[in-house]
Amino acid sequence: MKKQGIKMIAISTLSLLAIACGEKTKETQQQAEVALEQVKQDMNHNMAATTNTTEKYKKGDVVPKELVCMVNDAFMGKEQLKVEHEGKVYYGCCAMCQSRIPEDETVRQAKDPLTLETVDKAEAYIVMIGDNGEVAYFKNEANYQQFAAEAQVN
C-alpha cells in the first residue's frame, strides 16, 4: 500500500513539474488528470478489498498467487490482473504492472529469505509476512517452514 501512495505522489509531482515548466498542453494535462483519477480509484478499490479479505489471511499464511501484486510484492485481497510471460503466469494490480512484468525481469524475481537464492515469483511459495499485506517469496514450503522456525528461535 505504501508503494501505491508513493506512486501517486510521484505522478502528482511529475504532473505539477510539467505544468510549471509550461510543457504540458491542455490535452496532455487532461490525460494526466484522468490517469491520476484512475490511480486514486484503483488505490481506493484495492484498499477496500484488502481490508475485507485480510481477515481471512494473516501474517504467516500462504496466500494465493492470484491475490498478490507481484510488482508491489503485496497481498491485495482480490484477484489481480493476469500476465502470461514465457509460459508462466504472474499477477499485477494495474496496467502499469501489466506492462512492467514482461519488460522488467527484476519484478518477476525475488530472493528467498532463507537461502537468498533467486526464485521466480510465478513458481514461488508466497507467504504474507507483514501486517499490511507485505509478502515474501520462498523456493518451497520447506524453506518457509525452516525460516519461520528460525525466526521464532531468534
Closest CA relative to residue 71, chosen from 28, 44, 105: 105
Query: Percentage of residues in the chain with pLDDT exceeding 90?
Result: 59
Query: What pLDDT score was predicted for residue 34?
Result: 57
Model pLDDT, residue 40: 54
Is pLDDT of 5 > 90?
no
Answer with the residue of higher pLDDT: 28 or 119.
119
Please report the pLDDT score of residue 56 as a whole number: 87
Computed over every residue of the chain, the mean pLDDT equals 80
User: How distant, in Å, are the alpha carbons of 35, 53, 60, 99 from that of 67?
Assistant: 24, 10, 15, 18
C-alpha separations of 129 from 21, 30, 34, 44, 59 in Å: 43, 39, 34, 22, 5
The predicted structure's pLDDT at residue 55:
59
Give percent of the chain with pLDDT exceeding 70: 63
pLDDT at 22 over 70: no
pTM: 0.65
What digits encode the pLDDT tens for the residues 89-103? 999 999 999 999 999
Per-residue pLDDT, 17: 41
φ, ψ of residue 2 in degrees (nearest 5): -60, -40
Which pLDDT score, from 0 to 100, does residue 152 have? Answer: 73
With residues binned 3-state (H G I as helix, E B as strand, rest as coil), the percentages for the chain, rounded to 5, are 50, 20, 30
CB–CB of 12/6 below 8 Å? Answer: no
